[in-house]
Amino acid sequence: MYAAIALPYGGGKSILVVCTSTRRKSCSIAALPAERFRVHWSKFPGHRVLVVEHKYVVARHVSHILENEGATVFRASSVAQALRIADNVTLSAAVLEIRLGSEDCDPVCRALAQRNIPFIFHTSHVRQLMIQWPGVPLVAKPASAAEIIGALNKVLSGKRDILDGEGNDTNIVKFLASV
Protein backbone atom coordinates (compact mmCIF):
# COMPACT_ATOMS: atom_id res chain seq x y z
CA MET A 1 0.00 0.00 0.00
CA TYR A 2 1.27 3.46 -0.87
CA ALA A 3 0.34 6.77 0.68
CA ALA A 4 1.10 10.21 -0.71
CA ILE A 5 0.60 13.76 0.44
CA ALA A 6 1.57 17.10 -1.11
CA LEU A 7 3.19 19.46 1.41
CA PRO A 8 4.10 23.13 1.02
CA TYR A 9 7.80 23.75 0.68
CA GLY A 10 9.34 27.26 0.64
CA GLY A 11 8.96 29.68 -2.25
CA GLY A 12 5.39 28.64 -3.14
CA LYS A 13 6.48 25.16 -4.22
CA SER A 14 5.27 21.80 -2.98
CA ILE A 15 6.82 18.42 -2.49
CA LEU A 16 5.10 15.10 -2.85
CA VAL A 17 5.89 12.79 0.05
CA VAL A 18 5.30 9.13 -0.75
CA CYS A 19 5.42 6.24 1.72
CA THR A 20 6.46 3.19 -0.28
CA SER A 21 6.69 0.49 2.37
CA THR A 22 3.91 -1.92 3.23
CA ARG A 23 5.29 -2.87 6.64
CA ARG A 24 3.37 -1.70 9.66
CA LYS A 25 6.25 -0.43 11.77
CA SER A 26 8.44 1.19 9.15
CA CYS A 27 7.98 3.42 6.17
CA SER A 28 10.35 4.26 3.36
CA ILE A 29 9.78 7.86 2.37
CA ALA A 30 10.60 9.65 -0.86
CA ALA A 31 10.15 13.40 -1.29
CA LEU A 32 9.76 14.61 -4.86
CA PRO A 33 8.91 18.00 -6.42
CA ALA A 34 5.10 18.03 -6.71
CA GLU A 35 5.22 20.06 -9.95
CA ARG A 36 6.40 16.93 -11.74
CA PHE A 37 3.15 15.11 -10.98
CA ARG A 38 -0.38 15.65 -12.14
CA VAL A 39 -2.63 15.91 -9.10
CA HIS A 40 -6.24 14.80 -9.56
CA TRP A 41 -8.86 16.38 -7.31
CA SER A 42 -12.05 14.34 -7.02
CA LYS A 43 -15.24 16.09 -8.07
CA PHE A 44 -17.73 14.04 -6.04
CA PRO A 45 -16.17 13.07 -2.70
CA GLY A 46 -18.83 12.10 -0.18
CA HIS A 47 -21.61 11.90 -2.77
CA ARG A 48 -23.76 8.81 -3.11
CA VAL A 49 -24.87 8.27 -6.70
CA LEU A 50 -27.38 5.76 -8.03
CA VAL A 51 -26.58 4.37 -11.49
CA VAL A 52 -29.61 2.75 -13.13
CA GLU A 53 -28.59 0.77 -16.21
CA HIS A 54 -29.57 -2.74 -17.36
CA LYS A 55 -26.43 -3.38 -19.43
CA TYR A 56 -23.68 -4.54 -17.09
CA VAL A 57 -20.76 -3.22 -19.16
CA VAL A 58 -22.28 0.26 -19.42
CA ALA A 59 -23.22 0.30 -15.73
CA ARG A 60 -19.72 -0.74 -14.72
CA HIS A 61 -18.17 1.89 -17.01
CA VAL A 62 -20.29 4.73 -15.58
CA SER A 63 -19.71 3.46 -12.04
CA HIS A 64 -15.97 3.39 -12.61
CA ILE A 65 -16.00 6.99 -13.88
CA LEU A 66 -17.92 8.19 -10.82
CA GLU A 67 -15.88 6.15 -8.34
CA ASN A 68 -12.70 7.67 -9.80
CA GLU A 69 -14.21 11.05 -8.95
CA GLY A 70 -14.78 10.04 -5.31
CA ALA A 71 -18.47 9.06 -5.42
CA THR A 72 -19.94 6.04 -3.69
CA VAL A 73 -21.96 4.28 -6.38
CA PHE A 74 -25.06 2.13 -6.01
CA ARG A 75 -26.06 0.20 -9.14
CA ALA A 76 -29.48 -1.03 -10.14
CA SER A 77 -30.44 -2.95 -13.27
CA SER A 78 -34.22 -2.84 -12.79
CA VAL A 79 -36.89 -0.43 -11.62
CA ALA A 80 -37.53 -2.53 -8.49
CA GLN A 81 -33.85 -2.49 -7.51
CA ALA A 82 -33.59 1.26 -8.12
CA LEU A 83 -36.69 2.00 -6.02
CA ARG A 84 -35.40 -0.21 -3.21
CA ILE A 85 -32.08 1.65 -3.15
CA ALA A 86 -33.82 5.05 -3.31
CA ASP A 87 -35.99 4.05 -0.35
CA ASN A 88 -33.08 2.89 1.81
CA VAL A 89 -30.04 5.01 0.95
CA THR A 90 -29.53 8.75 1.27
CA LEU A 91 -28.61 9.62 -2.32
CA SER A 92 -27.00 12.78 -3.67
CA ALA A 93 -27.88 12.18 -7.34
CA ALA A 94 -28.62 9.55 -9.97
CA VAL A 95 -27.61 8.63 -13.52
CA LEU A 96 -30.47 6.93 -15.36
CA GLU A 97 -31.04 4.95 -18.53
CA ILE A 98 -34.71 5.56 -19.41
CA ARG A 99 -35.28 2.07 -20.87
CA LEU A 100 -34.28 -0.93 -18.77
CA GLY A 101 -34.97 -3.75 -21.20
CA SER A 102 -38.77 -3.91 -21.27
CA GLU A 103 -39.16 -1.58 -18.25
CA ASP A 104 -39.53 2.18 -18.32
CA CYS A 105 -37.57 4.17 -15.73
CA ASP A 106 -40.34 6.73 -15.18
CA PRO A 107 -41.29 5.39 -11.70
CA VAL A 108 -37.68 5.89 -10.61
CA CYS A 109 -37.69 9.45 -11.99
CA ARG A 110 -40.87 10.24 -10.06
CA ALA A 111 -39.49 8.72 -6.84
CA LEU A 112 -36.25 10.69 -7.12
CA ALA A 113 -38.11 13.92 -7.95
CA GLN A 114 -40.37 13.45 -4.88
CA ARG A 115 -37.25 13.15 -2.71
CA ASN A 116 -35.59 16.18 -4.39
CA ILE A 117 -32.72 14.01 -5.63
CA PRO A 118 -31.30 15.47 -8.84
CA PHE A 119 -30.68 13.12 -11.75
CA ILE A 120 -29.38 13.03 -15.28
CA PHE A 121 -30.20 10.76 -18.19
CA HIS A 122 -27.52 8.69 -19.89
CA THR A 123 -29.49 7.21 -22.75
CA SER A 124 -30.12 6.96 -26.46
CA HIS A 125 -33.92 7.37 -26.08
CA VAL A 126 -34.01 11.13 -26.51
CA ARG A 127 -37.50 11.74 -27.92
CA GLN A 128 -39.32 10.29 -24.94
CA LEU A 129 -37.36 12.41 -22.46
CA MET A 130 -37.98 15.79 -24.00
CA ILE A 131 -41.72 15.42 -23.43
CA GLN A 132 -41.78 13.82 -19.97
CA TRP A 133 -38.75 15.34 -18.25
CA PRO A 134 -37.84 18.72 -19.79
CA GLY A 135 -34.94 20.41 -18.05
CA VAL A 136 -33.24 17.21 -16.89
CA PRO A 137 -29.72 17.06 -18.36
CA LEU A 138 -29.29 14.46 -21.07
CA VAL A 139 -26.02 12.75 -21.95
CA ALA A 140 -26.51 10.82 -25.18
CA LYS A 141 -24.85 7.43 -25.55
CA PRO A 142 -22.06 6.87 -26.24
CA ALA A 143 -20.65 9.57 -23.94
CA SER A 144 -17.24 10.50 -22.67
CA ALA A 145 -16.33 10.58 -19.00
CA ALA A 146 -16.12 14.38 -19.21
CA GLU A 147 -19.71 14.61 -20.49
CA ILE A 148 -21.07 12.41 -17.70
CA ILE A 149 -19.05 14.21 -15.02
CA GLY A 150 -20.04 17.63 -16.39
CA ALA A 151 -23.76 16.85 -16.42
CA LEU A 152 -23.69 15.33 -12.94
CA ASN A 153 -21.65 18.24 -11.62
CA LYS A 154 -24.26 20.61 -13.07
CA VAL A 155 -27.15 19.03 -11.17
CA LEU A 156 -25.11 18.71 -7.98
CA SER A 157 -23.88 22.31 -8.04
CA GLY A 158 -27.17 23.52 -6.61
CA LYS A 159 -27.42 20.75 -4.04
CA ARG A 160 -24.51 19.65 -1.85
CA ASP A 161 -26.07 16.77 0.06
CA ILE A 162 -22.93 15.23 1.47
CA LEU A 163 -23.04 13.01 4.52
CA ASP A 164 -20.26 13.73 6.91
CA GLY A 165 -19.61 11.72 10.03
CA GLU A 166 -22.65 13.25 11.71
CA GLY A 167 -25.25 12.16 9.14
CA ASN A 168 -27.75 9.44 9.96
CA ASP A 169 -26.41 6.31 8.28
CA THR A 170 -28.78 3.78 9.88
CA ASN A 171 -30.79 3.31 6.68
CA ILE A 172 -27.72 2.50 4.61
CA VAL A 173 -26.49 0.03 7.23
CA LYS A 174 -29.87 -1.72 7.29
CA PHE A 175 -30.02 -1.76 3.50
CA LEU A 176 -26.52 -3.21 3.06
CA ALA A 177 -27.23 -5.86 5.69
CA SER A 178 -30.35 -6.96 3.80
CA VAL A 179 -28.59 -7.40 0.44
Is the per-residue pLDDT at 47 higher than 80? yes
- Which of 150, 145, 90 has its CA nearest to residue 120? 150
Average pLDDT, integer, range 151-161:
75
Least confident window among 46-55, 67-76, 122-131: 122-131
Is the per-residue pLDDT at 147 higher than 80? yes
Residue 124: pLDDT band by 50, 70, 90 thresholds? Answer: confident
User: Is the domain 48-175 a CATH 3.40.50.150 member?
Assistant: no
**Calpha distance 141→137 (Å, rounded):** 13
Average pLDDT, integer, range 152-177:
53
- Which of 74, 147, 139, 58 has its CA nearest to residue 112? 74
> Where in the chain are all domains bearing CATH 3.40.50.2300?
48-175
Its pTM stands at 0.68
